[in-house]
C-alpha cells in the first residue's frame, strides 16, 4: 500500500479560494493512497473563511479544520499544521490558491528511499514587480545567512516525511519559519529533492506576507534565528550522530 498522506493548508482570509483547494485535494488524494487526510488551519481569519470551512467539514468528514481564535502568524499556522498531521507523509501549500494542488503529482515520485523532502521551485513568479523584488531579497538574505540546500526557499509547496519534521523543533511564528524549517532539516542530515512548479496569479484578495512591514519583521526574525543557530552549545533534537 502507498504511504499515507496528510495535506494541510494554512489559511488567512482565504474565503474565496480555500474551498477550491480542499476540493482539488480531496479529488486527487485517492489516486495516490487509500489513507489520507486534509486539514485546514484557519489562522484567525476575519472574513468568511471559518464559515466556508465549517460548511465543507459538515459535507465531507475527510476534512478537519483547526481554528486559531486570533491571527498568530504564518509560522504558527504551519506549526499547528505539522502538529495536527497524523500520516506518514505531509504536504502543505498556501490557502490563497497560487499553487496548483494537483502538482503534488510531480513531487510524489521524487520522494524515494533516501529522500526526506521534495520542494517545489517556481518556474516563473506570477506577481507584480514589487513582490518579485521583495521575494528575491528574502530568498537572497536567507541564502546569505543560512545553509539552504534548495534554490527557492520562498516556494511553499513541500512534501515531507513526517518523521523528518518530528526531528526538528520549530519556534518561528512569522514567515521566517520557511527558512527555519529548511535550515533545521538540512542540519539534521535530511536529503532534499526539487521539482519546478507553476505559480499562478493571485485571483482573490492580497498577500498577507509581502508587505514592507511584514518583510521587515521577517528579516529581523531571520537575524534572530541566525543568532540562535550560532549559539554555543546549541543542539538539535533527534540529530544524527556526526560521522
Band (pLDDT 50/70/90 cuts) for residue 84 is: very high
35 in a structural domain? yes
Boundaries of domain holding 42: 5-229
**Residue 102 DSSP symbol:** G
CB 214 within 8 A of CB 135: no
- pLDDT score recorded for residue 206: 57
Predicted local distance difference test score (pLDDT) of residue 241? 31
Domain assignment present for residue 137? The answer is yes
Specify if 86 maps to a domain.
yes
| Within-domain flag for 241 | no
Integer Cα distance of 59 and 63 in angstroms: 9
Q: By percentage, how much of the chain surpasses pLDDT 70?
A: 81
**235 assigned to some structural domain:** no
Give the three-class secondary structure for 90. strand
In a domain, 234, yes or no: no
Domain membership flag for residue 38 = yes
Q: What is the CATH number of the domain that holds 29?
A: 3.90.550.10
What would the mean pLDDT of 53-70 be, rounded to a whole number?
96
| Number of domains making up the chain | 1
Q: pLDDT at residue 219 above 90? A: no
Q: Is the pLDDT of residue 44 over 90?
A: yes
Strands (E), the chain: 5-11, 36-43, 63-68, 89-93, 117-122, 157-161, 192-197
Cell 512534501 belongs to 159
Give the model confidence (pLDDT) of 104-161 as tens digits. 999 999 999 999 999 999 986 655 556 666 667 777 777 778 878 999 998 999 999 9
15 in any annotated domain: yes
Amino acid at each position: 500500500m502507498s504511504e499515507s498522506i496528510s495535506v494541510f493548508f494554512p489559511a488567512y482570509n482565504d474565503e474565496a479560494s480555500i474551498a477550491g483547494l480542499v476540493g482539488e485535494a480531496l479529488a486527487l488524494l485517492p489516486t495516490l493512497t487509500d489513507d489520507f487526510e486534509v486539514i485546514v488551519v484557519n489562522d484567525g481569519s476575519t472574513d468568511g473563511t471559518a464559515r466556508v470551512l465549517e460548511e465543507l467539514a459538515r459535507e465531507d468528514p475527510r476534512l478537519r479544520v483547526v481554528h486559531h481564535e486570533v491571527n498568530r502568524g504564518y509560522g504558527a499556522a504551519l506549526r499547528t499544521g505539522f502538529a495536527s498531521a497524523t500520516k506518514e507523509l505531509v504536504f502543505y501549500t498556501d490557502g490563497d490558491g497560487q499553487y496548483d494542488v494537483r502538482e503534488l503529482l510531480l513531487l510524489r515520485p521524487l520522494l524515494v528511499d533516501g529522500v526526506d523532502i521534495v520542494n517545489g521551485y517556481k518556474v516563473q513568479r506570477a506577481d507584480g514587480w514589487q513582490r518579485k523584488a521583495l521575494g528575491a531579497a528574502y530568498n537572497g538574505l536567507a541564502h546569505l545567512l543560512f545553509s539552504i540546500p534548495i534554490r527557492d526557499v520562498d516556494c511553499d509547496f513541500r512534501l515531507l516525511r513526517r518523521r523528518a519534521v518530528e526531528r526538528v523543533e520549530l519556534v518561528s511564528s512569522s514567515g521566517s519559519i520557511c527558512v527555519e524549517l529548511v535550515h533545521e532539516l538540512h542540519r539534521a542530515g535530511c536529503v532534499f529533492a526539487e521539482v519546478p512548479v507553476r505559480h499562478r496569479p493571485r485571483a482573490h484578495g492580497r498577500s498577507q506576507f509581502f508587505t514592507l512591514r511584514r518583510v521587515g519583521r521577517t528579516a529581523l526574525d531571520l537575524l534572530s534565528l541566525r543568532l540562535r543557530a550560532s549559539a554555543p552549545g546549541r543542539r538539535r533534537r533527534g540529530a544524527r550522530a556526526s560521522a
